[in-house]
Structure formats: structure tokens, C-alpha cells
Amino acid sequence: MIMRESIVMKIHYGTALGAVFLVAIHIMMRMTQDFHESLQYENVIANYEMIGYAILLELILILISVHGFNGLRVILLEIRQGQSYEKGVTYGCIAAMIALVVYGSNTIISVHLGLL
């Protein structure tokens, strides 16, 4: 599947703007109480159990993974070019992105459902 680079960059910018907005909410949630207190086990579990917050975390996970690994792909393609190299970098970044989303989603869903 070949996607035009202009479309990829639109996705890159879209995910960036979405992530900025959602990460701001994520950080503000830490400010609703004392920073150190907000990181205590019970408080973190309570955060994950809120459906709205779990969805927020999942969206942040997807947006930053897409943005981050596409950024890494762009940097790697700036450094070196070549057909097989570019293919390897693109598929490698997609695979790493999927792996991270799966790992993070497992944490979010398991804690949200109480599967501890």
C-alpha cells in the first residue's frame, strides 16, 4: 500500500495537534491533586477505571505512537535513502508502532476491566 507523502504529513500534523490537546488534559489531571499523591497506586487505578480517562489515554497512545514513529521514519529517511532501506524503515516503524499500541492498550484495558 502506497500512501502519498503529502497525506502522511497531514496525518503527522493532525496527530500532533490532537496529541497536544489531549496531553494537556492528561497533565492537568495530575494537577487536580498533589503531584506525588496523584501517582499513588490507588489514585492511578481510579484514573484507569474512569471510562472517559481510559479512552483519553488510549487516544493519546495511538496519536503519539503514529506521530512519533512517523517522525522517526522521516528522520531516518533524511539520513539515508534507497529503495530497500526506505521500505525497511517504513515497515519497521509501522511494526514498532503497532507493538507499542498493543502493549499500551493491554495495560489500559486490563486495568480498566480490573484484570489485575
Question: What is the contact surface with another protein in residues (CB under 8 A)?
Answer: 13, 16, 20, 23, 31, 35-36, 39, 41, 44-45, 48, 61, 64-65, 68-69, 71-72, 75, 79-80, 100, 103-104, 106-107, 110-111, 116
Burial 80-93 (b: 16+ CB within 10 A, else e): eeeeeeeeebbeeb
Our CB check for another protein shows the closer of 2 and 79 to be: 79
Dmax (CA) for the chain in angstroms is 52
Q: Minimum Å distance from CB 107 to another protein?
A: 5
The distance of closest approach from Cβ of residue 39 to another protein in the complex, given in angstroms and rounded to an integer, is: 6
In this structure, what C-alpha cell is assigned to residue 5? 507523502
Report the nearest approach of another protein to the CB of residue 86 (Å). 15
Q: What span, in angstroms and rounded, lies between the C-alpha atoms of 13 and 15?
A: 6
The distance of closest approach from Cβ of residue 3 to another protein in the complex, given in angstroms and rounded to an integer, is: 18
Angle at 21 between CA 18 and CA 25, to 5 degrees: 135
- The nearer residue to another protein, 1 or 28, going by C-beta atoms, is 28
Q: Considering beta carbons, is residue 48 or 89 the nearer one to another protein? A: 48
Q: How many Cβ atoms are within 10 Å of 70's Cβ, its own excluded?
A: 20
